[in-house]
């Protein structure tokens, strides 16, 4: 369907009588030719403007009529032509992508020649090197050299240590001046002063007065036990006295053991000075020597009591170890 041609017609404005009179008066007054030409130009300009306004209004109405009569096929063709024009701008990016694909294909070939295994993500990419001509690669010297294998990205191992995120907020508090930590310590039990005040292993001797206090306290409790008539109070006093005596006995046993060890070390030290090899006591030998030292400090009756007590304890152990008598039916 051929589009209708729009015919532009010029509207001619009628000349007013007053204007004719003005022109006549100007002629009568012998006005210069320049002034007359200026007036005529003004008239022509006004007529041209009015004609243009009228033509534009008529052209707008005719364009609406023409658009209403255009078919859908013509509109589709116009839309396709606009889309092709827009796609021309993306040709450059397509060329760059093609060059990158060729470089990836080259890198893959180099790895296969050297025997380096190709990753699964790279093997999935199928690129044809023939898509991009050799002339395009030769023109751009930047793309001639393949990237090195060191620059190629590698997969992160699952055994790699966890990395701290850069978005992790760090505390804004800062220690401007490092102050020493205040520690309250007792100089009596300080390791620095213990050896200076009491050289060697004489700490127990330095605090031996505590044992005298405990002994006097036990004597006071025994005196209170004799004067107390309440059975509950007596039981409590007996329990307290027994616990304190057991603590003193265990303390004395430890002191005897330490004394045996010190004596043995002194003897071995003199032997080593004479050129002999040192001998280290075993646990059984140490226990036997401690027992001998214990019996040496006892009287005859005390020693007999300890031996009898030990014999009874051994008899009880033997009875527990013996099998029970089996029941025999007659």
What is the mean predicted confidence (pLDDT) over 116-124? 51
Least confident of 25-39, 41-55, 150-164: 25-39
pLDDT at 327: 60
Q: For a pLDDT cut of 70, what percent of the chain falls above it?
A: 59
Q: For 228-274, what is each residue's pLDDT tens digit?
A: 989 999 999 999 999 999 999 999 899 889 889 999 999 999 999 99
Better-predicted residue by pLDDT, 113 or 88? 113
Better-predicted residue by pLDDT, 113 or 60? 113
Q: Which of 124, 114, 125, 123 is nearest to 149 (CA)?
A: 114
Q: Which of 152, 162, 33, 48 is nearest to 103 (CA)?
A: 152
Q: Which of 162, 111, 99 is nearest to 136 (CA)?
A: 99
Quick one: 54 exposed, middle or buried, by C-beta within 10 A (0-12, 13-18, 19+)? middle
pLDDT at 98: 81
Query: Is a pLDDT exceeding 50 seen at residue 94?
Result: yes
Q: For 125-145, what is each residue's pLDDT tens digit?
A: 444 444 444 444 444 444 444
Place 6 in a pLDDT band, splitting at 50, 70 and 90: very low
Cβ–Cβ < 8 Å for 141, 185:
no
Q: Residue 218 and residue 240: Cα distance in Å, rounded? A: 9
pLDDT at 117: 57
What is the mean predicted confidence (pLDDT) over 57-81? 68
Q: Residue 266 and residue 63: Cα distance in Å, rounded? A: 128
Cβ–Cβ < 8 Å for 15, 24:
no
Place 77 in a pLDDT band, splitting at 50, 70 and 90: confident
What is the mean predicted confidence (pLDDT) over 42-51? 48
């Amino acid at each position: 369907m051929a589009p209708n041609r729009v015919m532009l017609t010029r509207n001619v404005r009628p000349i007013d009588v007053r204007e004719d009179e003005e022109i006549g008066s100007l002629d009568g007054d012998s006005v210069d030719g320049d002034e007359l030409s200026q007036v005529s130009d003004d008239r022509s300009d006004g007529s041209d403007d009015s004609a243009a306004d009228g033509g534009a209004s008529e052209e707008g109405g005719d364009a609406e009529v023409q658009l209403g009569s255009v078919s859908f096929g013509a509109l589709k063709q116009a839309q396709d032509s606009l889309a092709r024009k827009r796609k021309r701008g993306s040709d450059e990016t397509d060329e760059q992508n093609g060059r990158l694909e060729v470089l990836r294909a080259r890198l893959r070939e180099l790895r296969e020649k050297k025997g380096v295994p190709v990753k699964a993500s790279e093997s999935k990419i199928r690129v044809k090197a023939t898509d991009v001509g050799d002339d395009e690669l030769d023109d751009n010297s930047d793309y001639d050299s393949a990237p090195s294998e060191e620059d190629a990205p590698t997969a992160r191992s699952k055994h790699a240590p966890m990395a701290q995120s850069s978005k992790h907020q760090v505390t804004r508090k800062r220690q401007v001046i490092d102050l020493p930590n205040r520690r309250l310590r007792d100089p009596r039990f300080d390791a620095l002063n213990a050896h200076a005040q009491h050289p060697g292993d004489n700490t127990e001797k330095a605090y031996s007065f505590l044992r005298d206090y405990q002994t006097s306290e036990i004597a006071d409790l025994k005196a209170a036990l004799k004067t107390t008539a309440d059975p509950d109070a007596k039981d409590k006093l007996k329990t307290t006295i027994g616990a304190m005596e057991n603590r003193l006995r265990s303390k004395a046993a430890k002191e005897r053991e330490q004394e045996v060890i010190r004596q043995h070390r002194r003897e071995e030290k003199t032997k080593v000075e004479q050129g002999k090899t040192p001998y280290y006591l075993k646990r059984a030998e140490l226990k036997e020597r401690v027992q001998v030292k214990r019996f040496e400090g006892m009287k005859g009756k005390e020693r007999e009591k300890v031996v009898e007590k030990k014999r009874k304890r051994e008899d009880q152990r033997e009875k527990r170890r013996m099998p029970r008598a089996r029941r025999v039916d007659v």
